[in-house]
Amino acid sequence: MATTWDLLEGAALTLARSAGIKDRLADAYRNHLAQIDVEDLPEPLRPLLRSCQSALTREPPLRGEDAVRATVRKMSTEEAEQLACTVMRLFAAVARENTRAERDAGVESLRPKILKAVPQVISLYAADGSRTPNRA
């Protein structure tokens, strides 16, 4: 079973794909956002998720489509982009909240380990900057 974090991450990754913004938004909702229980979010973030969910299901569907497809079809590209930004803000807010909660609980986060690893890799290449690798 996917956690709220996993579902928001999935929505963010869906929005980062290369396809039309409306298609990405519909996919993000159907495959991820629709499965999130609003009560699983911290209280201050619940209205943001509710607004995303209602913004993506507000139009009545025509025959052969669902409310999400009907809503996205009637949405302007600018509206779709703004809604995608709202989803990304929600994902970022949950990420910040998780980091805060881990810090307060004394749990060591993976983020510092990842960030520490990157400069080490870069410094190895920087030290060898005067030499070019052998190419076969």
What tokens were used for 82?
Answer: 């703004």
Per-residue model confidence as pLDDT tens digits over 43-92:
989 999 999 999 999 999 999 999 999 999 999 999 999 999 999 999 99
pLDDT exceeding 70 applies to what percent of the chain? Answer: 76
Q: What is the pLDDT of residue 100?
A: 77
Tokens of 56: 């993506």
The tens digit of pLDDT for each residue in 120-135 reads 444 444 555 555 555 5
Does residue 98 carry a pLDDT above 60?
yes
The pTM of the full predicted model, rounded to 2 decimals, is: 0.71
Confidence check: pLDDT of 8 > 50: yes
What per-residue confidence (pLDDT) applies to 103?
Answer: 74
